Homo-oligomer: A and B are copies of this chain.
Amino acid sequence: LAASRPRPREVGVRLGLLPPGPLNAITDVPGVRVGHVSLVEGESVRTGVTALLTHARDPFLEKTPAAAFVLNGFGKMAGLAQVAELGVIETPIALTNTLSVPTAMDALIGWTLDRHPDVMSVNPVVGECNDGYLNDIRGRHVRVEHVLAALEHATGGPVAGGSVGAGVGMSCYGHKGGIGTASRVVADGLTIGALVLANFGRAEELRVGTVDVGRQLAAGARGRQPSPSSLENEPGGRAVQARDAGRRDDPRTGSVIVLIATDAPLDARQLGRVARRGGLGLARTGSPSGHGSGDFILAFSNAEPIPHRPSSTTLTRHVLAEDGPSIDRIFAASVESVEEAVIDALFRAETMVGRDGHVREALPWPIATATRLK
């Protein structure tokens, strides 16, 4: 799936000012592992699971400092209240479709219980987007074993993108969306990486760096400039999605989940600041964050996990000094990584035919790049 289309930099599209890591992926942050299970069955199952492990050891025994920012809370991401209170994640992170969140939670609970015969409480973190345009989402086709398989497959190295894992059925800016990733290296050798599950935005809004691809495509397709009134009528937009969906007229499609990883030594408060920058990265791609979109950003640092059973009453922690220049570089790197991860998802995702013959076209990037994208 989704191997043949190039990533943005492979066709000369460079976004931002900072250099990417070797893989230009969230796995450039040492220890981060990603796994996908893609479910493409028959004519209407177009969904999947993406799992991410924050570091190479046991996530429950070595909890990962984390914080979330909710840009638009029309979504069902699970586990954030405890993350806000304690400042840590204690499970892998699973991404899937909206109605399969409970299944993914159940899987993460079982995965943790299996490894820890004493544990009676665990906080699964699961993000979701709604793939109901292409996928028979009401069928809830994701099963616990799919989530466990995604965890088992999780690995470092290059991250498959586009229509894979949780991204199989997703749409973005009126085109095929899905999984995207990118990274940045800042001074002192610190790395910031982002992974997005991109399922948001109207076609006309899309900006790729400094090119208004959305408007250009609209103009090309229609032989005219888009007018404001077309906001409700764009080809791949929400209103049309809803109309196409026949009796399934729910406007609550859309959403994006952003995961930001770093090996910079940041505490939960600082990671909350990073998470807010994730929203700025999304903004650069053009969307105003629609009402019906669940836009969640979760940032974590695996520099120094927090032990489940501390050996003393006081922990010695290392945290970035905020009055030096590093924090600004990390903020910039976060914005750029998220921006590029969204574009990466769009570039890599292949055209997909799904439920009820619905088609979501891949972004016609050669047309766009042919004009001004380099």
Most buried by B among A188, A207, A247, A323: A323
A18 to B269, CA, bound (A): 31
Give Cα distance in the complex from A315 to B318, angstroms. 6
A71 near B118 with CB under 8 A, answer no
A77 at interface, CB cutoff 8 A: yes
Q: Are B335 and A323 in contact (CB under 8 A)?
A: no
Of B188, B313, B322, B329, which contacts A324 at CB under 8 A? Answer: B313
Contact A120 B252 (CB under 8 A): yes
The verdict on A13 contacting chain B, using a C-beta distance below 8 Å, is no
A345 to B252, CA, bound (A): 37
Q: Which of B82, B226, B247, B315 contacts A74 (CB 8 A)?
A: B82
| A76 interfacial by beta-carbon distance below 8 Å | yes
Q: Does A248 contact B (CB under 8 A)?
A: yes
Residues 82-124 of chain A: 1 if any B CB is under 8 Å from the residue's CB, otherwise 0? 1011110000000000110111011001000100011111111
Query: A313 contacts B326, CB within 8 Å?
Result: yes
Indicate if the CB atoms of B120 and A322 lie closer than 8 Å: no
**Bound-complex Cα distance A357 to B122 (A):** 24
Q: In chain A between 266 and 293, which residues have their CB closer than 8 angstroms to a CB of chain B?
A: 267-269, 273, 276-277, 279-284, 287-292
Query: Which candidate, A41-49, A130-138, A175-183, is the interface stretch facing chain B?
Result: A130-138
User: B138 to A130, Cβ gap below 8 A?
Assistant: no
Report the separation of the CA atoms of residues A268 and B324 in the bound assembly, to the nearest whole angstrom: 19
Smallest distance from the beta carbon of A148 to chain B beta carbons, Å?
14
Chain A 50-97 residues near chain B, CB threshold 8 A: 70-82, 84-87
> Is A239 an interface residue, CB under 8 A from the partner?
yes
* Interface residue A347 (Cβ < 8 Å from any Cβ of B): no
Q: Is residue A364 contacting chain B, with contact meaning CB distance below 8 A?
A: no
A22 at the interface (CB under 8 A from B): no
Is A327 at the interface (CB under 8 A from chain B)? yes
**A212 at interface (Cβ–Cβ under 8 A)?**
yes
A interface list, Cβ under 8 A from B? 17-19, 70-82, 84-87, 98-99, 101-103, 105-106, 109, 113, 117-124, 130, 132, 137-138, 140, 186-188, 204-205, 207, 209-212, 215, 226, 228-229, 231-232, 239, 245, 247-253, 265, 267-269, 273, 276-277, 279-284, 287-292, 294, 296, 307-310, 312-329, 331-332, 334-336
Given contacts A98-B120, A119-B138, A232-B325, 20 further A-B contacts (CB under 8 A): A73-B84, A74-B82, A74-B85, A75-B82, A78-B78, A101-B102, A118-B245, A118-B248, A120-B248, A120-B250, A188-B313, A276-B289, A279-B280, A280-B280, A283-B284, A288-B332, A290-B331, A291-B328, A307-B321, A316-B316
The 3 closest A-B pairs by CB, nearest first: A73-B85, A310-B321, A280-B283
